Amino acid sequence: MHTEKNICESILGTLMNVEGKTKDTVKARLDLEDMKIRKELHLIKKNNDKYAMPAASYVMTKKERQDFCEFIRSVKFPDGYASNISRCVTATDQKLSGMKSHDCHVILQRILPPGIRGSLTKEVREVLTELGQFFQHLCCKKLNKTKLEKMKGDICLIMCKLEKIYPPAFFDIMVHLSIHLPDEALLGGPVQFRWMYPIERFLCGLKQSVRNKARPEGSVAEAYIAKECLTFCSMYLKDIETRFNRDDRNNDIEFNDSLSIFEQKCRPVGATTLVNLSPEDFKSITWFVLQNCDEVVPFIIQHKEELLAAGCVNIEKQHKEQFPTWFKEQMIRIYKDDQSAKNESLYSLACAPRRCIKKFAGCIVNGVRFLTRERDSRRKTQNSGIVVDGNHGDETLSFYGVLDDIIQLDYVRGRQIILFKCDWYDLGKKKRTGLQKEGNIVSVRVDGKWYEEDSYILADQARQVFYINDPKLGKNWRVVIPVSHRHVYDVTEMADEDIDADDVLSVENGVYQENVTNDPLEVGLGEIELLRRNDLDQEDIDDTIIQVGTRMVDATDLDDIDELDDTMVDYYSTDEASENSHGSEDEIDSDDAS
């Protein structure tokens, strides 16, 4: 986490040319002259005893910095995803300040790649995107050894591409540490078991317990003892909610039923609004629910076969109009003969819901908080983004949209179903003109809608995404960022007898072998076409600054270096040096012979 923070601050400081944070300084340009590389970035001597500092390709213009700050200010994250990063934007100075480690973690992996679209050069955008994707895959909950071995080579290529763009001063020890992170993951496993975020949160709690700053140790000890006493007492307080046994904020409710459609893990939140459905809406909702229940499929097939045997024309239309009534008659007859739990649930489903429905502003589904678009407009977070996989013709697509309404349908015997009513963004019927992909960045066009007659989905079918502005494609486009649940892990299922008592980490090893969500980017090493920006004015540097920044080595420094070298030579005797050299040669020869 600290490696990410330092790398992110170096990148942002250099991109935005923040004084004191940028790595593109006068000394960095003098380093290029000393190394005799990148002549187009060398300082240019002027006639008035001043130097001109050419603008590099990795530095934003003033307009680009303003746009980037506005982009960061417009970002809204889902509930519990990250802090409000927009507060870190300083409008007057056009820079980011006060960022925590997790803020840098989110910016480097999720926000920076789409944020620099439309600015800088292609080479700079690609290498920063590859670096963000590297950390994103490294921080996955599931790691694969084969892909980690590939990432070891990818990070070397990424570092080489950075070295061809950024000055040598950019590459401090923190940037170098990223080379060793794949090896660390191979040895230590997934990063969530090793990083410092839980420790930092614990230390923050200890810091908050300090009331007397003259005696911090005593304050922490007293607070810790009080917490232990409360924890002990809470064990004897049955049926009483305490801070130690209360449910999570986004805890849902699971209903046990014989039908899968009644077993939604949902909990509506917010005020309830009662609405009477129109006949058209009631008919469409009832038909949608019947079509999405797996246990009703045999009845659908049976009804179509009866219509086909009767010689009906336009079977699909007749089936849609007649099936709800036919299914209700069938279930009344079946339920009289067999009142099992499954038939009771099917009977409740066949009786149709009440016409008076309940609407909510929010709903928690599988631990994820969803809010309607109208509710989201008044908040600093964004919880209305929806994505659902569905069929469009002969292909399977991911449908992107926003949540408009949360509807609860009440059935007989106390059963209920929660539906989401969404607006789907038009992706294009054939050529997908409303969907653009560039690497792992997906953008959708939000000024068009489609499937307005099929706007309902089951609540547990929805997956959450959030949208951010696309600086490259314009105001009618949004970049889609998927959201993964922070408390859900894909753990390998094993029987108790399969777990060795001496190998308590066997389950964790199974998790460690699972594949990551997305394949790593294909990283290649290409040529850098442009290192200097011609659309940005050169910066004038005084001659006095150049003289102070120049690193001159005088005779005394040379004497010190020589003495240091002599000391190192005298440290070893001639015989020991010869023995070491012969030993190394013997080892090389033996290896070659083998």
Q: Which ranges of 51-110 does DSSP label H, i.e. alpha helix? A: 62-74, 101-106
Residue 384 covered by a domain: yes
pTM over 0.75: yes
CA–CA gap between residue 386 and residue 467 (Å, rounded): 10
Residue 222 covered by a domain: yes
CA–CA gap between residue 448 and residue 455 (Å, rounded): 14
Same domain for 60 and 182: yes
**Structural domain ending residue among the three candidates 436, 457, 486:** 486
DSSP run (H or E) holding 536: none
Query: What tens-digit pLDDT sequence spans the chain (594 residues)?
Result: 789 999 999 999 999 999 889 999 999 999 999 999 988 989 888 877 788 888 899 999 989 999 999 999 999 999 989 999 999 998 778 889 889 999 999 999 999 999 998 888 899 999 999 999 999 999 988 888 999 999 999 999 999 999 999 999 999 999 999 999 999 999 999 888 888 888 988 999 999 999 999 999 999 999 999 999 988 888 888 788 887 778 888 888 878 887 889 988 899 998 999 999 999 999 999 999 999 999 999 999 999 999 988 888 888 889 999 999 999 999 999 988 888 888 899 999 999 999 999 999 999 998 899 999 999 999 999 999 999 998 887 888 899 999 999 999 999 988 999 999 999 999 887 677 889 998 889 999 999 899 988 899 999 999 999 999 999 988 899 999 998 876 666 666 555 545 444 443 333 333 223 334 455 556 666 666 667 766 666 676 766 666 655 543 333 333 433 433 443 334 334 444 444 444 443 443 444 443
State how far the alpha carbon of 478 is from the alpha carbons of 262, 452, 471, 586, in Å: 35, 20, 9, 64
Amino acid (1-letter code) at residue 285: I
Per the structure, the complete domain to which residue 472 belongs is given by 359-486
Same domain for 469 and 562: no
**Structural domain ending residue among the three candidates 470, 486, 502:** 486
Name the domain count of the chain.
4
Amino acid (1-letter code) at residue 389: D
Residue 548 covered by a domain: no
Same domain for 565 and 479: no
Same domain for 10 and 131: yes
**Structural domain ending residue among the three candidates 486, 513, 538:** 486
Same domain for 184 and 62: yes
Same domain for 160 and 40: yes
Residue 367 covered by a domain: yes
Residue 273 covered by a domain: no
Same domain for 404 and 461: yes
Amino acid (1-letter code) at residue 170: F
Residue 425 covered by a domain: yes
Same domain for 222 and 88: no
Same domain for 132 and 220: no
Residue 323 covered by a domain: no
Residue 460 covered by a domain: yes
Same domain for 72 and 29: yes
CA–CA gap between residue 378 and residue 270 (Å, rounded): 14
Can you say whether the dihedral through the CA atoms of 516, 485, 158, 4 is positive or negative?
negative
Long-range contacts of range 104-108, CB-CB < 8 Å, 24 or more positions apart? 104/4, 104/5, 104/8, 104/9, 105/1, 105/4, 105/5, 105/8, 105/135, 105/139, 106/77, 106/81, 106/82, 107/8, 107/12, 107/72, 108/4, 108/7, 108/8, 108/11, 108/132, 108/135
Same domain for 474 and 368: yes
Question: Which residue from 203, 188, 181, 91 is spatially nearest to 137, judged by alpha carbons?
Answer: 181
Same domain for 7 and 133: yes
